Structure 1
Amino acid sequence: MSRTRDRRGRGMRGPGVMPRVPGRPELRTRRERFDDLVLSIVTEIDERWQERLGLVEYAVEDTPQIPDDWTSETVPLSSLIRGSGTTPTRLVVFRRPIEHRCEVRSDLEAMLLTVIVEQVAELLGITPEMVDPRYEED
């Protein structure tokens, strides 16, 4: 009978990948991958529409804060708060509700593109197809 390190079925006893930089994980977290996707979509759209958008602040939050008297059965995927004066417009994308609706990365990319494009289209007062040609209404 051979003895193995996993003799009580607890799984691996250390990281699967040793980090190149000590103290910093080698593999990125789901949150970091989500933030990178949002950043790539926002960067493209912001470069294309910067003159008309003006100052817009983009953010990612885990979940929306829903009031106790919320009557809708659906959870918001994003929030758009229009700026006034020196206050910038703020577009917030909610990570957990979006991830919950997506099974694979391609679904996540499509959902993020849809959510961000629709909010920017609302802000500009144009159709989503004009904001980004990749937009497909489902």
Structure 2
Amino acid sequence: MPMAKTRAQNFDALVLEAVENVERVVGDNERFGPKKLGGVEFAVEDVPGEVNAYDTDVLEDRDVPLARLFPGRAGASGPSPRIVVYRRPLELRANGVEELAQLIRSVVVEQVANLLGVRPEEIDPD
């Protein structure tokens, strides 16, 4: 009998699904030109560490960070862009798995749009 998945594993699976959907949309759309998501790292952390809530790369709700974009640096020697999704703040805002999946998708879309310099509606019109 297989072991049941933990809440963290279920959350990771929802993030992976959202990322795969966004990658498919961005990869299939020519309007994004050479700006693709290759090399972008996605990560999940349980809670945010110290962040300045005034940074534009932090997506927050009532002063609680939900996700953060680390844009990376130009050039091969700099770090890759990284989007971090914070599990506990998102879980606390959702009622059920479906609502959590939608919230995760919205957060991932928002951060990818920020990275690519486009409006979220251009990536996910829903």
1:27-70 CA distance string (max 9 Å, x none): 11100000000001101212332452342000000001126x87
TM-score normalised to structure 2 length: 0.77
Poorly superposed stretches of 4+, deviation over 3 Å: 69-73
Distance 2:24 2:82 in 1: 17
Query: Which structure carries more strand by proportion?
Result: 2
Structure number with bigger Rg: 1
Matched position secondary structure for 2:21: helix
Flag structure 2 segments of 5+ consecutive residues without an equivalent: 28-33, 55-59
- How many residues of Structure 1 are paired with residues of Structure 2 in the alignment? 110
**In structure 2, what is the equivalent of residue 36 of structure 1?**
13
What percent of counterpart residues are identical?
40
Matched position secondary structure for 1:77: strand
Distance 2:117 2:53 in 1: 27
1:52 is aligned with what amino acid?
K
Flag structure 1 segments of 5+ consecutive residues without an equivalent: 1-18, 21-25
> Which structure has the higher relative contact order (CA within 8 Å, separation 6+)?
2
1:81-123 CA distance string (max 9 Å, x none): 1111232100000000100111211110111011110111111
Query: Which structure carries more helix by proportion?
Result: 2
TM-score normalised to structure 1 length: 0.71
Matched position secondary structure for 1:121: helix
Q: Is the 8 A contact 2:53 2:65 kept in 1?
A: no
**In structure 2, what is the equivalent of residue 63 of structure 1?**
47
